[in-house]
Amino acid sequence: MKPKVYIDGKEGTTGLQIYDRLAARKDIELLLIEEAKRKDPEERKKLLNAAGLVFLCLPDAAAVEAVNLIENGHTRVIDCSTAHRTAEGWTYGFPELSGQREAVKAAARVANPGCYATGFLSLVRPLVEKGALSPKARLTCHALSGYTGAGKKAVAQYTDPDRAEELASPRHYAVTLSHKHLPEMAAVAGLDRPPLFTPMICNYPQGMVVTVPLWAEELEGAQSVESLRALYADYYAGSPIVTLRPADAPSCGFIGANNLAGTDSLQIFVNGNREQLMLSARLDNLGKGASGAAVQNMNLMLGFEETAGLNL
């Protein structure tokens, strides 16, 4: 029998993207809630318990509530909210990190990573894990993203023909230096403290670049552009999703933020000189940063080909 899958909250940005990816698949049975009962707790509870796998595309509090509505031992969950990313008993859904692919396959509860966290962890976790970066390191992380990463309200603001003029330019936010992705960025990277994180929202729909600048002297051992490239090449060897860009990229001196829009890939760049290094990850905030990662995790959990339904 085909596994039954239910998306709780498919009206949001991530939920809609997951629905669009799954609606045409023939290897699952997609359970749908009647529009009139979309907010009916009893109807949601019935579907949550009827499904073999559930995506939660909800605000944090609603995601916690939804998990509590599951009363059986067989429904598996992929939570796309922030609620469970560092919670005990939940598996962090980044299969490319060491040990995580098998953990995701066996997990009953998977927390889908945040988009910024995905870029940051793809750069920092391998360095800490391989001993090239101390867990005590004080890191800075700069990032920019298209406006879809900020949710439906931001999409409405940016696509409004009468929008404010300032929305035409990049805008810093989280200026109090607090952001909902910081706990997972530190915990999953193996750092003693989160980075100093400065994100920006920009006037284009999808795509992001996350950058971690480093002084070579702050790394463990004699590290260079070449040695870090070798480290990443080995760490992500064979991955169809996470790839290292060639040594001469970007050839024109620019890293575009929306080049991977509409895809589920993640690209890593290592640039710099003998003293300073610039590590960058490029991805689609709605692809590998959200719905693409969720579908990848579903594929692993249900025994499908890992990249089924992904755009690479």
C-alpha span between 181 and 183 (Å, rounded)? 6
Give, for 172, the enclosing helix (H) or strand (E).
Answer: strand 171-172
Q: Is 57 a catalytic residue?
A: no
Helix and strand numbers, DSSP H then E, in the chain: 9, 13
Residue type, 133: L
> What string of DSSP letters covers 242-311?
EEEPPTT-STTS---SSTTTT---EEEEEEE-SSEEEEEEEE-TTIIIIIHHHHHHHHHHHTS-TTTT--
Q: DSSP H helical segments within the chain, as ranges?
A: 13-22, 41-50, 60-69, 100-106, 115-129, 152-159, 182-189, 225-235, 292-302
Please choose, from the candidates 107, 116, 112, the residue with its C-alpha nearest in 3D space to the C-alpha of residue 94: 112
- The answer to whether the CB of 196 falls within 8 A of the CB of 139 is yes
C-alpha span between 265 and 236 (Å, rounded)? 13
- The answer to whether the CB of 57 falls within 8 A of the CB of 291 is no
Question: Facing residues of 283 across strands?
Answer: 208, 266
Q: Long-range CB contacts (< 8 A, 24+ apart) of 87-93?
A: 87/111, 92/184, 92/188, 93/293, 93/294, 93/297
Options 115, 141, 202, 252, the catalytic residue:
115
Rg of the chain, C-alpha, whole Å: 20
Q: DSSP H helical segments within 70-113, as ranges?
A: 100-106
Catalytic residues: 115
